[in-house]
């Protein structure tokens, strides 16, 4: 343990030291330039290490992934669009796309909605009660998704009738005289997915609540008082005064949760491993590259995820531009 701690400290010191040396060298190179060229070039030299890091660790892997998506399973020969056509011909993969779409539609809206509801209600409590309530709702954010998945597997745990029910929900169900339910093994379409979305919301609502609560507290009191003087009800004030002013934060939270849903893996993997109509693109990618050892199909799935996230990023950039134009 002590050796690991020492290695960590030395790694941090070495990393910081190397960064300082790099920026010192870049600064000296800029000082060698004549006249105003130093001031013109120096900012670009300072961002050069970050740009190189992005190019090496983000841009290059992305381009290589696109190339591999047109190659065979060993990435040794090009096969054109065979990986894409093979994936879309599979019923299981089409079902995976539909389940992912359900996640993208339902989870972000509910996360923002419940977060906004919690922020609005808790802000009306007294200071001590407000802090306690927000701490309880935010607490799941301190738990890893894998740990939360283990917890919720116990919540949904199933045992045959007559056996002790360690699952919370089945303990309640059997308490009222009903048969236990195999919660994550239902044949009904998307029922299992909605159970996983509930668990995801348990993790994400606290994040949404904190950001939206800060935005609500930033709404000028003068606008609220003016609306009350004009005879507006509290619901009208919330809809027409508060929400428009916190909309940039609402959009940011929505986009952040949406991107998180697109990358969703650990929740599904721990809870069901994609079985019983719960598979999403991220778990399918993992299965392709780790179980089937098919680099081409795995790369094609990543490209599909990249394409799916582009409209979200375009929407976010447009919102930023609108905010800047309104300032």
The string of pLDDT tens digits covering residues 42-80 is: 888 888 888 888 999 889 999 999 999 999 988 888 998
Check residues 319 and 307 and name the one with the higher pLDDT: 307
pTM to 2 decimal places = 0.83
Phi, psi of 231 (to 5 degrees): 95, 15
User: Can you give the pLDDT at residue 83?
Assistant: 92
pLDDT at 189 over 70: no
Name which of 276, 301, 272 is nearest 286 in CA terms.
301
3-state secondary structure of 78: strand
Secondary structure (H, E, C), 178-190: CCCCCHHHCCCCC
| 119-125: long-range contacts, CB 8 A cutoff, minimum separation 24 | 119/208, 119/209, 119/210, 119/212, 119/213, 119/216, 120/216, 120/238, 122/209, 122/213, 123/213, 123/216, 123/217
pLDDT per residue over 72-109, tens digit each?
988 888 998 999 999 999 988 999 999 999 999 999 99
- Give 256-291 pLDDT, tens digit per residue: 898 888 888 888 888 888 888 888 999 999 989 888
β-bridge partners, 71: 78
Confidence at residue 327, expressed as pLDDT on a 0 to 100 scale: 64
**Which tokens sit at 204?**
């994400």
């Amino acid at each position: 343990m002590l050796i690991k701690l020492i290695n960590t400290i030395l790694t941090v010191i070495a990393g910081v030291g190397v960064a300082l040396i790099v920026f010192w060298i870049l600064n000296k190179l800029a000082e060698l330039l004549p006249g105003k060229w130093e001031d013109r070039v120096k900012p670009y030299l300072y961002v050069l290490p970050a740009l190189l890091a992005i190019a090496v660790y983000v841009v290059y892997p992305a381009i290589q992934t696109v190339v591999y998506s047109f190659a065979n399973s060993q990435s040794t020969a090009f096969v054109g669009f065979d990986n894409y056509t093979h994936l879309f011909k599979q019923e299981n993969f089409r079902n995976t796309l539909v389940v992912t779409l359900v996640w993208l539609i339902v989870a972000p809206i509910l996360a923002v909605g419940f977060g906004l509801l919690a922020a609005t209600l808790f802000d009306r409590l007294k200071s001590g009660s407000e802090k306690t309530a927000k701490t309880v709702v935010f607490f799941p954010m301190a738990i890893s998704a894998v740990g939360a998945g283990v917890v919720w597997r116990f919540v949904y745990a199933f045992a045959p009738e007559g056996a002790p029910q360690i699952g919370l929900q089945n303990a309640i169900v059997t308490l009222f005289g009903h048969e236990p339910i195999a919660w994550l093994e239902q044949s009904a379409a998307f029922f299992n997915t909605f159970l996983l979305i509930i668990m995801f919301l348990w993790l994400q609502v606290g994040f949404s609540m904190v950001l939206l609560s800060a935005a609500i507290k930033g709404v000028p009191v003068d606008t609220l008082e003016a609306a009350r003087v004009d005879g507006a009800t509290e619901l009208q004030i919330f809809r027409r005064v508060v929400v428009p002013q916190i909309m940039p934060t609402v959009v940011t939270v929505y986009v952040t949760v949406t991107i998180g849903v697109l990358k969703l893996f650990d929740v599904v993997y721990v809870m069901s491993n994609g079985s019983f109509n719960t598979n999403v693109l991220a778990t399918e990618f993992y299965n392709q590259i780790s179980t089937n050892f098919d680099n081409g199909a795995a790369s094609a799935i990543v490209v599909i995820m990249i394409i799916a996230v582009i409209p979200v990023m375009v929407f976010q950039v447009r919102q930023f531009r609108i905010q800047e134009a309104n300032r």
